[in-house]
């Protein structure tokens, strides 16, 4: 992990590069709460956690007066109950039983959860997500749940040596996003297309992303020995 001075400089640079074109989400997997709160000092207002257990460990120490918390990782149905009252958006809705459980838990809490549908844009066997050709129908299906609000789509494209190689996937995602947005589905406010991470966020923004998820380009290489 980088020094605070380096982290502050990275946040300033990335914000300058984005220039208001996309919302910056700091991906904080393995990052301790004191560093996350320092990132808030530097202007970060939105963070995303990948693991339920790690989020629960950190949650009390996070400065939630300044930070909004999203869940951006794969989510097991039996763990929804632990985060339904703690996050304002779930990025990884990729199957009907998960949507049903989010609906059940949020109904009990009397709240509405913003969600993104995760799309497996390249059809990779090792990745979760809805097939591109099934995305529109799935979005229509989950908008029948009154305690879910569809906000848009998310994907993690294949790892490529050249970020420009992902442009074809970003373009395809943007087309699906626009088609769904134009439907004006009930229980939806489709305004978020979450594409791009540390290695390709500028290419993603150039191709329609409204939110980028950036971890190592802010904090440096993750230390997985800590978790």
Three-state SS string across 153-207, please? Answer: EECCCCCCCCHHHHHHHHHHHHHHHHHHHHHCCCCEEEEEEECCCCCCHHHHHHC
| pLDDT tens-digit readout, 53-102 | 999 999 999 999 999 999 999 999 999 999 999 999 999 999 999 999 99
Query: For residue 161, what pLDDT is reported?
Result: 76
Query: For residue 226, what pLDDT is reported?
Result: 55
Residue 166: pLDDT band with limits 50, 70, 90: confident
| pLDDT tens-digit readout, 13-44 | 999 999 999 999 999 999 999 999 999 999 99
Report yes or no: 147 and 123 within 8 Å, Cβ to Cβ: no
To the nearest 10 degrees (0 to 180), the angle between helices 33-41 and 4-18 is 50
Report yes or no: 18 and 26 within 8 Å, Cβ to Cβ: no
CATH topology of domain 4-222: TIM Barrel (3.20.20)
Phi, psi of 120 (to 5 degrees): -85, 80
Q: Is the model's pLDDT at 222 over the cut of 70?
A: yes
What's the whole-number mean pLDDT along residues 183-187?
Answer: 94
Query: For residue 164, what pLDDT is reported?
Result: 73
């Amino acid at each position: 992990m980088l020094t605070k001075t380096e982290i502050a400089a990275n946040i300033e640079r990335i914000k300058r590069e984005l220039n208001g074109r996309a919302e910056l989400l700091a991906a904080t997997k393995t990052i301790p709460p004191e560093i996350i709160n320092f990132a808030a000092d530097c202007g970060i207002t939105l963070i995303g956690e990948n693991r339920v257990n790690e989020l629960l460990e950190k949650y009390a120490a996070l400065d939630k007066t300044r930070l909004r918390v999203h869940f951006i990782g794969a989510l097991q149905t039996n763990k929804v109950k632990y985060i339904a009252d703690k996050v304002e958006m779930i990025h990884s809705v990729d199957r009907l039983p998960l949507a049903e459980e989010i609906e059940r838990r949020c109904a009990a809490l009397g709240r509405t959860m913003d969600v993104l549908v995760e799309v497996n844009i390249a059809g990779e066997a090792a990745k979760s997500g809805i097939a591109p050709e099934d995305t529109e129908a799935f979005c229509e299906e989950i908008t029948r749940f009154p305690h879910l609000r569809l906000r848009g789509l998310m994907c993690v494209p294949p790892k490529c040596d050249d970020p420009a190689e992902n442009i074809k996937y970003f373009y395809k995602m943007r087309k699906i996003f626009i088609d769904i947005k134009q439907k004006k589905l009930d229980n939806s406010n489709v305004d978020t297309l979450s594409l791009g991470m540390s290695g390709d966020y500028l290419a993603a923004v150039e191709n329609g992303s409204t939110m980028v998820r950036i971890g190592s380009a802010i904090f440096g290489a993750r230390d997985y020995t800590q978790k």
